[in-house]
């Protein structure tokens, strides 16, 4: 009896989580007249690709490319800085517990609402001439991604035995050689796991894109999605279609990197 109860709970949970996804796919392929009907049917009676055609006519591919470039570059910057920062915090001793103070400040920044730093960051970007640019967004995304990467990589680097590095040091390997040939390969699954979540953070970011980007050709996907919800109404077909388009790259990335993701988490739980 307990087994059937567990199966029932599992299938119920899966159905609950799949319901919004099915509704999104069903609405994306419905014709406009069917979307406006007060119907509870998830799947369309007649399949229509008009919503997707309207998106491609609006150059949605440009916004996807913009988001990919910004999210990947922001993640690369965060991982590079976080890797060296986490290594220093794990392997070296700091006076007056400065390492703990630094980690606390990083955590506080991560927990702060983005709107708190948005205005001073806007002023700084304006003075540096980085408004309405991809570079400005990449740097501003570090508010989200860098604290997250530092805290995640701390656990992965702590799991690397110090004895392995000491053996490499005795064989004449200097610091950067140990980092390149010992620490980095052992920490690679953790880096991949951290990178995936960092990319998702950059992919879904909306507030800074809204404040810092002014011309449509530099829009990101979240900013483009907001255009379908206006005071005149909501374009449900296009909204669901662009939701599918924006979700597929992240699903493909997570699926391809799944084995590295699982290895990274198993490494962090040792």
Q: What is the DSSP string of the chain?
A: -HHHHHHHHHHHHHHHHHHHHHHHHHHHTS-HHHHSS----SS-SS---HHHHHHHHTTHHHHHHHHHHHHHHHHHHHHHHHHHHHHHHHHS--GGGHHHHHHHHHHHHHHS-HHHHHHHHHHHHHHHT-TTSHHHHHHHTHHHHHHHHHHHHHHHHHTS-HHHHHHHHHTT--HHHHIIIIIHHHHHHHHHHHHHHHHHHHHH--HHHHHH--SGGG--HHHHHHTTEETTEE-HHHHHHHHHHHHHHHHHHHHHTHHHHHHHHHHHT-
pLDDT at 7: 80
Q: Are residues 114 and 241 in the same domain?
A: yes
Q: Are residues 125 and 38 in the same domain?
A: no
Render pLDDT for 155-193 as a digit per residue (tens, 0 to 9).
Answer: 888 888 888 888 888 877 888 888 888 888 888 888 888
pLDDT at residue 91 tops 50: yes
Boundary (domain end) residue, out of 15, 32, 48: 48
Q: Are residues 176 and 214 in the same domain?
A: yes
At a CB cut-off of 8 Å and minimum separation 6, what does 21 contact? Answer: none
Q: Are residues 37 and 164 in the same domain?
A: no
Structural domain for 32, as ranges: 1-48
Q: Are residues 92 and 199 in the same domain?
A: yes
Q: Are residues 60 and 40 in the same domain?
A: no
What is the CATH classification number for the domain harbouring 263?
Answer: 1.10.3720.10
Q: Are residues 19 and 104 in the same domain?
A: no
Q: Contact at 8 Å (CB) between 221 and 67?
A: yes
What is the Cα–Cα distance from 9 to 35, expressed in whole angstroms? 32
pLDDT at residue 269 tops 50: no
pLDDT at residue 227 tops 60: yes
Q: Are residues 87 and 177 in the same domain?
A: yes
Smallest CA-to-CA distance from 202 within 138, 249, 131 is with 138
Q: Are residues 168 and 235 in the same domain?
A: yes
> How many CB atoms lie under 10 A from the CB of residue 201?
18
Question: How many structural domains are present in the chain?
Answer: 2
What is the Cα–Cα distance from 137 to 167, expressed in whole angstroms? 42
Render pLDDT for 252-264 as a digit per residue (tens, 0 to 9).
Answer: 887 777 766 665 5
Rounded to an integer, the average pLDDT of 200-228 is: 90
Q: Are residues 84 and 34 in the same domain?
A: no
What is the Cα–Cα distance from 184 to 13, expressed in whole angstroms? 38
Q: Are residues 32 and 68 in the same domain?
A: no
pLDDT at 80: 94
Q: Are residues 131 and 249 in the same domain?
A: yes
């Amino acid at each position: 009896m307990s087994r059937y109860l567990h199966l029932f709970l599992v299938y119920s949970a899966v159905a609950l989580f799949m319901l919004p996804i099915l509704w999104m796919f069903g609405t994306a392929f419905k014709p406009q007249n069917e979307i406006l009907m007060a119907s509870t049917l998830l799947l369309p009676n007649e399949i229509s690709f008009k919503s997707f055609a309207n998106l491609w006519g609006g150059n949605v591919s440009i916004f996807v490319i913009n988001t990919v470039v910004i999210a990947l570059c922001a993640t690369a910057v965060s991982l590079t800085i976080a890797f060296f920062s986490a290594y220093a915090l794990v392997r070296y001793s700091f006076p007056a517990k400065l390492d703990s103070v630094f980690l606390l400040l990083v955590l506080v920044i991560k927990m702060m609402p983005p709107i708190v730093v948005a205005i001073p960051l806007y002023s700084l970007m304006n003075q540096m001439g980085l408004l309405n640019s991809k570079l400005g967004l990449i740097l501003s995304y570090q508010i989200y991604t860098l604290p997250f990467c530092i805290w995640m990589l701390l656990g992965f680097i702590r799991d690397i035995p110090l004895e392995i590095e000491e053996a490499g040091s005795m064989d004449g390997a200097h610091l950067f050689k140990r980092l390149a040939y010992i620490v980095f390969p052992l920490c690679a699954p953790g880096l991949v796991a951290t990178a995936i979540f960092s990319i998702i953070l950059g992919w879904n970011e909306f507030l800074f894109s809204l404040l810092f980007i002014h011309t449509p050709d530099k829009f990101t996907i979240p900013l483009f999605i907001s255009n379908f919800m206006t005071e005149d109404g909501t374009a449900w077909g296009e909204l669901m279609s662009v939701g599918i388009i924006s979700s597929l790259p992240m699903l493909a990335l997570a699926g391809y990197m799944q084995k590295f993701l699982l290895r990274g988490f198993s490494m962090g739980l040792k």
